[in-house]
Chain A
Amino acid sequence: MSRILIVDDEESILKSLKRLLRAAPCTCGNKTFALEVQAFNSPVAALEAAKNEDFDLFLSDYRMPVMDGVEFLTAAKAIQPDAARLILSGYADLNALVRAVNEVGIDRFIGKPWNDYDLMSAIGQALAHRELLMENRQLANLVRQEMGDTTPEALEAERLERIEPGITEVNWGPDGSVVLDPEFLARE
């Protein structure tokens, strides 16, 4: 089951997308993905959800109040870097596209009005591509482990680091103390 997060300030768009993603099969090559869709009409609420749950793919509108699609995806990437990122927008000028590709590294840009088949294909391809990357990483880790380049501990630390960035690092204070949350201290 692939978890997908959709953000658009237009409720009708969200509903039509949910209908589409619920019914149509999402395939890529010989793979078929079952989709679980979470829709948000506000980027802020969507980010909040992204902090608490894992998603395989983010699909965002570009023009929204408070923050635009590129800003949202940049923030989402910081939280979940492995998720695929797509933009679905009716209009974006060249600057927006450049930012989307260069700053966020989006997988696809889909224009509105969209073709249902194209959209499903794009989602399928993005999910397949992500799966492939994950698989590659896992296999590479296995190889490194067998070659002795890495240890299960290191891999576990890497995994933990992905879940909770910075957890494997220890910050020593000048007096030899251990600073657990430098960010929190700095905020103070």
Chain B
Amino acid sequence: MDAFIWDERYMTGEGIVDTEHQELVRIINLVVEKVSRETPEAEINEILGRLVQYAVVHFRHEEELMAETGCDPRFVAKHTEIHQEFARQVVSMRSISGPATGMEDLLRFLTSWLAHHILGIDQAMARQVRKIRAGGSAEAAYLEEAKRAADPTTSSLLAAMSSLYRLIAARNESLQQLNQSLESKVAERTQDLVKEQEQLRIAMNQVAVTQKKLLESEHKRSEAAKQNMAAYLAQIIDGDPVPTFVINADHRITHWNRACSIISGLPASEMVGTKHQWKTFYPEARPTLADLIVNGSLDEQLETYYHGLFQRSRTIDDAFEAERFFPELGHGGRWLFFTAAPLRDRSGSVIGAIETLQDVTERRQAEENLRQYQNQLEELVAKRTSQLAEANVELESERRELEQLLGKVEEAQQQLLQSEKMAAIGQLAAGVAHEINNPVGFVNSNLGSLKSYVGHLLNVIGAYEGGDAAQIEAARKAADLDFLREDLPSLIDESQDGLSRVTKIVQDLKDFSRVDQAEHQEADLNAAMESTLNVVANEIKYKAEVVREFGDIPLVDCVPAQINQVFMNLLVNAAQAIPTMGKIFVRSGCQNGHVWFEIEDTGHGMSEEVRQRIFEPFFTTKPVGKGTGLGLSISYDIIVKKHRGRMDVTSKPGEGTCFRLWLPVSFSPSE
């Protein structure tokens, strides 16, 4: 514990001066501490020496400061004089002081002297320095300071100081005289000394009184500042638009702002100083949140009065907030959101509480409306959900019906596909029958003729064998041998040709519908087109001349039987589109990894409306019973879906139609 406590009042405002004052104080305290611990005298003396040295340095600094600033020379002289006096006194006191008691006197002297020196002359110096720096003249500053010295507290202090110095000086002198005189006068001198010490104590008391007065005047000043502060605070609270009241540790209202008066209908004049803060909210007396905070035992009581409605504030520690409905307030009650926070003094003990009340009725109503609206919506959603569920069930049953229908439709479609195939075969059979019947007809007839020829020839041979010239002549005539010789080779040639035609047609038919071509394989589609053309040639040769313009194409990975079916369909359609006699161009080529075939006719073409519908199943322009309306639909299915190709068509009414189909050379079913 320091003997000399540094205080703000000692601050002069001059940085270096204050620092050195503090160092002096620290050294003094060190000395006091050492003395109290009965440290060896040598060490104490050493510290005291340091103190004196430091004081000398410090005094020089102060004197330099005054010289720099240009203080009044009178003041400088006086101040320097005081410093020198101090040094002298300390030196003399040290030289005569014995152990213990002398040391104590010395310390007391040092402490008091330093306190008064700082408060008095050093502060005066600092004030003058400030004034001079602010532009005042040194003399004016000195005079003003002199006037200040006339102040009773200051003058009494100074008087005490001077008396102190005088006493010390006198004592020092007498002590010296005493030392110089003989030891015999010690007792007498001691008595004198006792007296003098008594006087010294009185002087010290006077100093203490003066110090007290000084402190009181300081206290008055801070009291006035405090009152100003309180007024200022009251204004802030009063002007706050949020209803706010403050209570002190006795639960008495200290502040009740205007907004609070308006919301409660109770003016501040009635409320301040009372404990009626509850009146605003409750019909009978009970603690408010602020009261609970002042009481301290928060947790139990909050539970009693606020039933879990409160919570700790998220922004301020120790503060609590709650939201409640107050039916007594306003028209039909109000919702209030109130926050209460403790007020603490410096030591941290609660000296009151502040509570703010926010009217959140409108927000509450909005929330309530929102909640109602939400409930309505939820009901609506529930209703809709059940409706949707019903609809879902209906849809599900409809879907099942549709699936059944779809199954039936697929079945029907399979049957139709079969019938389309049969129709195509029937159509084909007609042409093929005609084409086979022709050669069979003439070969058969030729054989009949050959039979009679052979008969005649045998007769002629018989006649030659008989050797009768007349008979030979008759037989030759009957046989018309010249004609036979001419006709027989051609008869046989034609018959052979007819039979080879039949063979070829049968081969074409086999090629066209070979069972082993119903699998994916690498196929020469030009050859496939040729065999298809042969099969349908009989069907189209009466309608059109076929112009072949085949390009070089690679083998294509496909199902040849299906591609043949498409070729046949397109060729027969082309022939049927030609009214009397026209041309059918069959072209092929290869481009970008695709093989293309083009079948163009010079028929009657079709309109845009028809063109858009040709790939629809059951769409046909042929008379009832003539076409199934499935041919192109199946072709499209084969080319586009089964072979991942493409089918384009261009047509102009009156000019003809051109189908072009594209097939990828290598087929990858996964795409």
Contact = CB atoms under 8 A, between A and B. Distances in A.
Interface of A: 10, 12-13, 15-17, 19-20, 23-24, 63-66, 68, 89-91, 93, 111-114, 116
B433 A12 contact: no
A111 B437 contact: yes
B407 interface: no
B440 A112 contact: yes
Nearest to A115: B444
B498 interface: yes
Given A12-B439, A12-B498, A112-B438, A63 B445 contact: no
Select the residue from B439, B443, B541, B581 with max chain A CB neighbours within 10 A. B439
Contact of B448 (A90, A112, A116): A116
B321 interface: no
Contact of B434 (A19, A20, A24, A90): A90
Given A12-B439, A65-B542, A17 B434 contact: no
B581 A65 contact: yes
B487 interface: yes
A94 to B, nearest CB: 12
Given A64-B542, A65-B542, A19 B438 contact: no
Nearest to A9: B542
Contacts of A17: 442, 445
Given A19-B487, A91-B433, A24 B442 contact: no
A96 to B, nearest CB: 11
A123 to B, nearest CB: 13
B580 interface: yes
A90 B437 contact: yes
B490 interface: yes
A93 to B, nearest CB: 7
Contact of A91 (B430, B449, B497): B430
A171 B491 CA distance: 55
A188 B444 CA distance: 52
B542 A90 contact: no
Interface string B493-507: 010011000000000
Q: How many B residues touch the partner, as a band?
A: 20 to 34
Given A10-B442, A66-B581, A16 B449 contact: yes
Given A13-B441, A23-B449, 19 more contacts: A12-B438, A15-B442, A16-B491, A17-B445, A19-B491, A20-B445, A20-B449, A24-B452, A64-B542, A65-B542, A89-B434, A90-B441, A91-B430, A91-B431, A91-B434, A91-B437, A93-B430, A112-B437, A113-B444
B398 to A, nearest CB: 47
For the complex of A and B, list the 4 residue pairs with the smallest distance between their C-beta atoms, beginning with the closest: A90-B437, A113-B441, A112-B441, A16-B442
B573 interface: no
A104 B445 CA distance: 27
A13 to B, nearest CB: 5
B430 A16 contact: no
Nearest to A11: B494
A101 to B, nearest CB: 20
Task: Give the secondary structure class of B's interface.
Answer: helix
Contacts, number: 78
Interface string B372-387: 0000000000000000
Contact of B494 (A12, A66, A93, A112): A12
B163 to A, nearest CB: 160
Contacts of B434: 63, 89-91, 112
A105 B581 CA distance: 27
Interface in B468-501: 487, 490-491, 494, 497-498
B411 to A, nearest CB: 31
A20 B448 contact: yes
Contacts of B435: 90
Given A19-B445, A66-B581, A90-B433, A13 B438 contact: yes
Task: Give the secondary structure class of A's interface.
Answer: loop
17 contacts: A12-B438, A12-B439, A12-B442, A12-B494, A15-B442, A16-B445, A16-B449, A19-B445, A20-B445, A66-B580, A68-B542, A90-B441, A91-B437, A112-B441, A114-B441, A114-B444, A116-B445
B541 A65 contact: yes
A69 to B, nearest CB: 12
A15 B448 contact: no
Contacts of A111: 437
Contacts of B542: 63-65, 68
A3 to B, nearest CB: 20
A91 to B, nearest CB: 4
Nearest to A91: B434
Select the residue from B442, B443, B444, B490 with max chain A CB neighbours within 10 A. B442
A116 B442 CA distance: 10
Given A114-B445, A116-B448, A15 B494 contact: yes
A68 B543 CA distance: 11
B446 interface: yes
A65 B580 CA distance: 9
B626 to A, nearest CB: 11
A89 B430 CA distance: 12
Nearest to A66: B581
Contacts of A20: 445, 448-449
Nearest to B542: A65
